[in-house]
């Protein structure tokens, strides 16, 4: 399916049974990774935890998940969603940061982990910089216990749920930080003038 709004009726193939998936969503700078780290730190020290992030997200650290305020937790990078299944071992808790960067298989991967009895905690953007949903995040949202976070709109101060690009989009490197993006409310948000690159389903696609 091309990028864009997730059509209705796609949830038919998603099993609702045996899932213990927690999803933390919101725009950039809404504190998603901070909340993920908070949930990890609340676990008993003896808890087996696998913390994972997509290989494409190397903005700050290749071996840690890092919030924009530089909080960190050790993390393994993975090339694609299916690789997660080989890395988690017998972890009791699997924390996955930035799931919007993964491919569509992340939905089944999270379900399989939950069916193994693992507690799965994911973070991700729900909307890309064009204001379109990430289809796989939307699918996960339908089966997960979802927490929706907001930031403060940089333009007007109201609650923000959009990620607004502040500089022109000149190439296909869609990953960025505070130099390229800021939180905006729906009224102050505008998508980039440039069309979404062909094949992109969101901010970027990880290598498969
Ligand atoms: Zn605003």
52-92 pLDDT, tens digit each: 999 875 655 666 666 666 566 678 889 899 999 999 999 99
Question: What is the pLDDT, as a whole number, of residue 10?
Answer: 45
Q: What is the mean pLDDT of the chain?
A: 83
Rounded to 5°, angle at Cα 74 from 71 and 79? 115
Residues with CB under 5 A from ligand 1 (ion): 153, 155-156, 158, 185, 188
95 CA to middle of ligand 1, Å? 31
pTM of this structure? 0.82
Question: How many domains are contained in the chain?
Answer: 1
Is the confidence at residue 5, as pLDDT, over 50?
no
Question: What is the pLDDT, as a whole number, of residue 12?
Answer: 42
Residue-wise pLDDT tens digits, 146-198: 999 999 999 999 999 999 999 887 766 677 778 889 999 999 999 998 888 76
Place of tokens 């725009």: 27
Is the confidence at residue 1, as pLDDT, over 50?
no
Residue 201 covered by a domain: no
Residue 104 covered by a domain: yes
Question: Do 151 and 28 contact (CB within 8 A), yes or no?
Answer: yes
Question: What is the pLDDT, as a whole number, of residue 60?
Answer: 59
Catalytic annotation, pick one of 8, 35, 41, 98: 98
C-alpha span between 153 and 166 (Å, rounded): 13
76 CA to middle of ligand 1, Å? 36
Question: What is the pLDDT, as a whole number, of residue 175?
Answer: 73
Q: For residue 3, give Cα distances in angstroms to 26, 33, 82, 133.
A: 19, 25, 21, 8
Largest alpha-carbon pair distance within the chain? 50
In the chain, pLDDT over 90 holds for what percent of residues?
59
Residue 26 covered by a domain: yes
Question: What is the pLDDT, as a whole number, of residue 194?
Answer: 82
What CATH number did the domain enclosing 32 receive? 3.40.50.300
**35 is a catalytic site residue:** no
Residue 50 belongs to domain spanning = 17-150
162 CA to middle of ligand 1, Å? 10
Residue 169 covered by a domain: no
131 CA to middle of ligand 1, Å? 14
Residue 196 covered by a domain: no
């Amino acid at each position: 399916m091309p990028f864009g709004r997730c059509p209705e009726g796609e949830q038919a193939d998603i099993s609702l049974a045996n899932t213990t998936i927690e999803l933390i969503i919101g725009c950039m700078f809404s504190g998603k990774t901070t909340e993920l780290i908070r949930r990890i730190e609340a676990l008993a020290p003896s808890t087996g935890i696998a913390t994972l992030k997509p290989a494409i997200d190397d903005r700050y650290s290749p071996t840690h998940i890092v919030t924009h305020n530089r909080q960190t937790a050790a993390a393994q990078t993975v090339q694609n969603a299916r690789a997660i299944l080989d890395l988690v071992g017998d972890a009791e808790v699997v924390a996955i940061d930035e799931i919007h960067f993964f491919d569509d298989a992340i939905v089944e991967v999270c379900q399989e982990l939950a069916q193994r009895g693992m507690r799965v905690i994911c973070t991700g953007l729900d909307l890309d910089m064009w204001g379109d949903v990430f289809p796989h995040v939307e699918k996960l949202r339908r089966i997960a216990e979802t927490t929706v976070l907001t930031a403060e709109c940089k333009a007007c101060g109201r609650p923000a749920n959009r990620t607004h690009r502040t500089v022109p989009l000149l190439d296909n490197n869609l990953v960025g930080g505070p130099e390229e993006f800021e939180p905006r409310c729906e009224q102050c948000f505008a998508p980039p003038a440039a069309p979404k690159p062909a094949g992109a389903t969101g901010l970027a696609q990880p290598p498969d």
